[in-house]
Amino acid sequence: MRVLGIETSCDETGVALYDTERGLVADALYSQIAMHAEYGGVVPELASRDHTRRLLPLIQQVLDEAGLSRTALDAIAYTAGPGLVGALMVGASTAHGMARALEIPVLGVHHMEGHLLAPMLEDAPPGFPFVALLVSGGHTQLVEVQGLGRYRLLGESVDDAAGEAFDKAAKMLDLDYPGGPHIARLAEQGDPGRFRFPRPMTDRPGLDFSFSGLKTHTLTAIRQLEAAGELDDQARADVARAFEEAVVDTLVIKCRRALDQTGLKRLVVAGGVSANVRLRERLERECAKRDARAYYPRGRFCTDNGAMIAYVGAQRLLAGEHDETGIMKAVPRWPMDRLEAPAGA
């Protein structure tokens, strides 16, 4: 089955072609980061308009790369949520329009399920069951995964997600959007011993996250340095280092608890923040202590992309799922615990 995947949930337009016999055939991505950086964050209306401009040319680019025409497609999968409703509608309407014209099935896919299963696109994918840390701009979650659609939420952020915290801390330090890569680069120059920021919610049982207090602590530290006339380049790097280490430590501590609680030996880490080098190094060490293994998607599949949507769509389409004719799905808020395993799985 050849499945076209379409991702338009936020600020990346992603398209990919997945063949259930050959694997990933082609993929393309257009990032809107440069456009939104001017505003310090994603502007929903601009995002929707840019998806409209980019989507059809990207679909054609993927088909050309695969050497196929649209009539060779067997099905289309698109991101139905969660995400920005206008951006979601661009992908949903395009997918349904193409599917109706080609008389093929179409299916709306959960964005975070795409991230969750993105490592399945690698040459050595994880087997079920595993613990997954989903850590992106809008979500920080720990999930126990027993199979496709068989998910148990272990913990999640009660306020800011880790990616949002990186963005806000970066803004405090006058760094560009998105914050994660810029914080990480600046932190490399920082003194790890100058500041120690709190590791929120690690002093109590449980697997939930909270980064709002860390954000406030970071702002307070910056204002104190400003008041003392000490906020120079080195101080900014030291703050970035302390902030990054606090986020990484918090994520690692919670992953350790999740592995111990479930007794599982496989950890999947996905979402944009999963590209953070310090986080990967720390998780690798923790997994080695437990005779466990960590799995990640390749770099370009850490952020939003069409390949993960095509893959998840293919698995659910094979199990008999599809949208009802003419009924598009665009769900801005869609908790993962509402997902179910396909009846045919």
Report the alpha-carbon angle 331-16-295, nearest 5. 85
Identify whether 44 is preceded by a cis peptide bond (ω within 30 of 0): no
Q: Say if residue 19 carries a ligand binding annotation.
A: no
304 is in an annotated binding site: yes
Measured distance CA(221)–CA(225) in Å, rounded:
6
* Rg (the chain; Cα; Å): 20
Residue type, 24: L
Q: Residues 114, 49, 333, 151: what is their CA dihedral angle, to the nearest 10 degrees?
A: 0
Q: Residue 108, annotated ligand binder?
A: no
H or E element in which residue 129 lies: none
135 is in an annotated binding site: yes
What whole-number distance in Å separates Cα of residue 93 and Cα of residue 304?
19
180 annotated among ligand-binding-site residues: yes
| 138 annotated ligand-binding residue | yes
Task: In whole angstroms, give the CA distance from residue 316 to residue 296.
Answer: 22
Residue 276, marked binder: yes
Return binding residues. Answer: 111, 115, 134-138, 167, 180, 276, 304
Return binding residues for Fe cation. Answer: 111, 115, 304
Return binding residues for substrate. Answer: 134-138, 167, 180, 276
